[in-house]
Structure 1
């Protein structure tokens, strides 16, 4: 939600009745951000028989609250398991140009074949 560490501390107290220090929140955030970066750049499977792509619009606070698209790509592996390939924040409406960037990134991370792409209105 774009909250400061102080706002997260207040939220924990309000919702859970738990006291957590700003330092603890900062350490947890640093750890999660590092792991998230690794996940975002991990190599992908070479083949996904099915790839689902769509965008969801969420309210994001970046100085002010605006509705922005979050692009989502989910692949179904050869073993039939779902794999979230990534989430990307866009800055406008859902469009083919942004999807081209997303699909290029998926290709650059190791995917070389997709049999069926499921999307709406693209």
Structure 2
């Protein structure tokens, strides 16, 4: 209880956001999944002839991870569209959607 009471002032403002934003904020599984995919992509290829080659491999790994057509299972960005809409309402001065 002591931990909850000490963290409550920091946690309570989090509840003011819509559920779409809260879902994305507390879910680290998406970030961990992308990091795992990037580590796997670089480890499987060993060394790269240039920085550009490494960036291309990382780009393709991220693209494959978030592309819903690339995988039949639930994709990583399942809730990002709704959350992005909510972020644009709350932080319109910081976020530009094009």
Give the structure with the higher percent helix. Answer: 2
